[in-house]
Amino acid sequence: MKKAIRYSIIVPVYNEEAVINETYQRLTKVMESMGEPYELLFINDGSRDKTAQIIEQLAEADDSVKLLDFSRNFGHQIAITAGMDYACGEAVVIIDADLQDPPELIPQMAAKWQEGFEVVYAKRTKRKGETLFKKWTAALFYRTLRAAAEIDIPLDTGDFRLMDRKVCEAMRSIREKNRFVRGLVSWVGFRQTAIEYTRDERFAGETKYPLKKMLRFSMDGITSFSYKPLKLAGYLGFVVSFSSFVYLIVTLFLRLFTADTIPGWSSVMACVLLLNGVVLIILGILGEYVGRIYDETKNRPLYILRNKEHAGRPQPDEVNWRVKQ
């Protein structure tokens, strides 16, 4: 007899009370249509609204729903990491709660996985209902990252993907703190492929990624996969020092051999400001790396759970798997 495939669906949620029920409905519909056992693993990332209560109610009525409840907001990337730590299925799907990633693509991803691919990620060809600013900064970010990164990170791809259990296990062995999960999934390797999709509008509520979180996220992406900014700092320093040296020679020449050494206050100011600017930029870049080294050395756990019943990952067979009746 063919062994049933078990699917784990990881859904990070942060203040998503307006969408949870709809997300649950759509996911359940899709998963039931597939006719295989599944678990819906919601990670509540320290929501301040009724998100956790709504999920608890769902869990009471439906065995397939599980809640990992963070003690505070640890961030989206940490939430999906916790999901991967606790997921028990043979195939693991990561999906946003706001229905921007359509659950209806999961069967298509599963088909690719059955063909033998170990990671099937969803590449956005269009993004609906997002501001021009978000689209442009996102496009710029993915291209910069691609140019900088030492590994091949696919363009315009979020965390919406299906992974084989093996990939998830490899991900569990990576415990770095400032995580850029989609890059790490590329880094672990395996056979990977893409399917394309149009990213929908958020079903309800507002983005949980304000500019500050977006900047932090892009810095994590670049610093964890590239030393190029550090090298750039070095090159920039070299170019500026070399130009300053040339300018110094010119100044000396003018002072010694010509009569027109007008007290050049403006040029001095310009040089001082420029140099200080460059030095500060370089220090800033160094700071980004040093800060992350500091985070690693502190060796804190990545997250803390409020609900203790999840302490210690359950074995796959201890989990309630729901199959279509």
Nearest CA to 206 out of 322, 318, 97, 71 is that of 97
Residue 173 near residue 166 (C-beta atoms within 8 A): no
> What distance in Å separates the CA atoms of residue 188 and residue 182, rounded to the nearest whole number?
10
We find the least distance from the C-beta atom of residue 58 to ligand UDP, in angstroms, to be: 16
Residue 37 interacts with ligand UDP (CB under 6 A): yes or no: no
CB of 23 to ligand UDP, least distance (A): 9
The residues pairing with 162 across neighbouring beta strands, listed in sequence order, are 93, 120
CB of 304 closer than 8 Å to CB of 78: no
Q: Reduce the DSSP state of residue 160 to 3 states and report it.
A: strand
- How far apart are the C-alpha atoms of 228 and 235, rounded to whole Å? 10
Query: Is 117 in contact with 188 (CB distance < 8 Å)?
Result: no
73 interface partner picked from ligand UDP, Mg ion, none, CB below 5 to 8 A per type: ligand UDP
Stretch of residues binding ligand UDP (CB under 6 A), selected from 75-83, 174-182, 220-228, 311-319: 75-83
How far apart are the C-alpha atoms of 59 and 235, rounded to whole Å?
A: 56
- Residues 6 or more apart from 9 whose CB is under 8 A from it? 27, 31, 38, 39, 40, 41, 93, 95, 106
Would you give the DSSP letter of residue 40? E
161 interacts with ligand UDP by CB under 6 A: no
Among 17, 36, 39, 45, interactor with ligand UDP by CB under 6 A: 45
For residue 165, with 0-12 CB atoms within 10 Å meaning exposed, 13-18 middle and 19 or more buried, which class applies?
A: middle
Give, as ranges, the residues between 90 and 149 that touch ligand UDP (CB under 6 A): 96-98, 100
Residue 73 binds ligand UDP (CB under 6 A)? yes
Q: Does 98 bind Mg ion (CB under 5 A)?
A: yes
12 touches ligand UDP by CB under 6 A: yes
Residue 16 or 118 with smaller CB distance to ligand UDP: 16
**Between residues 197 and 321, which has the closer beta carbon with respect to Mg ion?**
197
The burial of 253, by beta-carbon neighbours within 10 Å (0-12 exposed, 13-18 middle, 19 or more buried), is given as: exposed
* CB neighbour class for 88 (10 Å; exposed up to 12, middle 13-18, buried from 19): buried
Per CB under 6 A, 14 contacts ligand UDP:
yes
Q: Give the one entry of ligand UDP, Mg ion, none that residue 233 binds, where binding means its C-beta sits below a cut-off of 5 to 8 angstroms depending on kind.
A: none
Site string for ligand UDP, 189-228 (x = CB under 6 A): ------------------xxx-------------------
Query: CB-wise, 98 or 220, nearer to Mg ion?
Result: 98
Cβ-based nearer residue to ligand UDP, 66 or 112:
66
Exactly one of 8, 15, 51, 100 binds Mg ion (CB under 5 A); which one? 100
Nearest approach, Cβ of residue 204 and ligand UDP (Å): 11
Establish if 21 lies at the interface with ligand UDP (CB under 6 A). Answer: no
Q: Which does 16 bind (CB under 5 to 8 A by kind): ligand UDP, Mg ion, none?
A: ligand UDP
> Cα-flanking dihedrals φ and ψ of residue 19, to 5°?
-115, -20
Count of CB atoms situated within 10 Å of the CB of 205: 16
- 112 or 127: CB nearest Mg ion: 127
The option from ligand UDP, Mg ion, none interacting with 156 (CB < 5 to 8 A, set by class) reads none
Please pick, from the candidates 31, 79, 153, 319, the single residue that binds ligand UDP as defined by CB under 6 A.
Answer: 79
